Structure 1
């Protein structure tokens, strides 16, 4: 822990200065060295699994005593399978193609100058996140492989888990000959440290928030550093009139209930008024123990459905609850998504290719799907390895942010003595 006489600003300045130095060293490291560091870190996570599980048990006990919701407890929980998957994810990042040094494009000017845009690290990244301790490992792995130093600030509910994961990974990173300061964790739960990190533009090049609306809103309001926003997932599955009934039921139930606490979960189901099996679809959700909040037409399909309030259409439940509305065709569905969605992930279920293309082109979300569960909104499922989050903004990176999203570029200009007239 930091010295109690140290202000949050002093603490962040110290971490930032160390991160800057570490980033400069990391920039000179070979890709093989970075990959080896992650392989060693992954093995260290496996070796430390009992200690990580014990730390997580303490967090779970405290979180339950503090009244954390079931969905948030699910995000916090680390069982043996999840720890193993976290280690596998870190190792998978080590095997991904190296984005650094890649030539984005190249051209030669009439005067003979040769121009190239080449991928380079961002520098120092600050990541502020809640609940999910696996983010500690994912973020560290991705930032390091992309050549960036990272300062992590997890939620107080996962403090013990985060420290245990960080300690394990650090042992592997140092064993590979890289400086320990390439991955630092803010050693205090004082919320003032978050504010200091958001204003540390001298040391931090990008802030990435991962958490609920209140966290992201605070980051966007206070930050003096560029922000890569990861907003809530108010995701929709639209069942078109030409949807296959069996497929529609399977996809909607999976999209909502496979894991209710992930940001890719469907929160609103839109059913075309001309879809003949609407009652069967609502029944499938209810029979799967999902609470359905619907409009009058939906309630008429099954008496177990309860009335939807106005704010249900704007709610990320992260629970076994779904809002369901009948719509008058694809234009109505697209309009509803535009009014209530969060630009995260939205899907259409239909056998009509023309309508599917209309939906794919018209819906302004980071991820738009056709005949697939919104639960596939995940960097690993996209073949990107572990992800840092799903960006719902429009600048720099959009959708699952992995290695490439954690880089920028610089121009390389090669001449033969040209002077400008």
Structure 2
């Protein structure tokens, strides 16, 4: 098993307009950002840098200017604060797409271990002991995110003129966000998907937005409806699964491909929903045009194990039992709680360099975050809130 991890990821607080807070973010995490960039540039998981820059400019820059100019300004601030080029920061925010592009180009020997997994869940009020709404996930990716201290918990307080509520996002240093929650009670988590619609050619003059930024656009939204419209109406060229929820008492799972959005909901009876890395919605199964491209493996049981763990505590799920459900080791080391196999046992894993680098739980009702660095089975949790109080939790 992976060694016990007791430290926390850096909690980075930024304030102000997009460029100002981006610059602060870049200054506070400069070493982490440069380390992250150097990995993607120099480890062989991507084509040569000139080719990557051309790809970024042909696929993303026009779309950023058209659909998310504030995000582009924030990335320019990050670049200035960390002393790197804007293309470097766009690379970090599009690495989900970039690794799939490399896979498409048959640079497979080093890419396979970089494709993230993840398993997530949401529980609405009928499922929880105190009637709270909980959403969270295990973040599974290459172990370097954990070992090299690349993860950060970003707390953003936008300028008052933006009319954007404060928010938290767990992410890689230099990215605008991955999973998150805002002070209005909106939450989002995501899991990787592959489909037959994924494509990597610049087929429009406008281009596409990286999936990471769709998550951030949702969290910056004032209401659930606005967030859903923003997230689903911008062009994308790869697939992803999103679970979004509101403290008001609703959640939706969206299996998104470049041209489709297949929806599913927690059942009215249980108000529990889980997902991993394969398409499973009734809408997707009934469709005749899009095919899933995920290879089978632990994704076929991780979501079921998580659901089973939660339903064992239903209807009295609380934050502790919600967390406990993510500690499941069926199929170890390729379990819901993902571990690096012991030396000499690499053959027992389909992804021997991947592990759960974090477990995060958002209590949308209380507007609090519980974050564990590393696997939930042996990590230490800290709780964060918008009042800047931080509590250690055993």
TM (normalized to structure 1)? Answer: 0.24
Structure label with greater radius of gyration? 1
Structure showing the higher strand proportion among its residues: 2
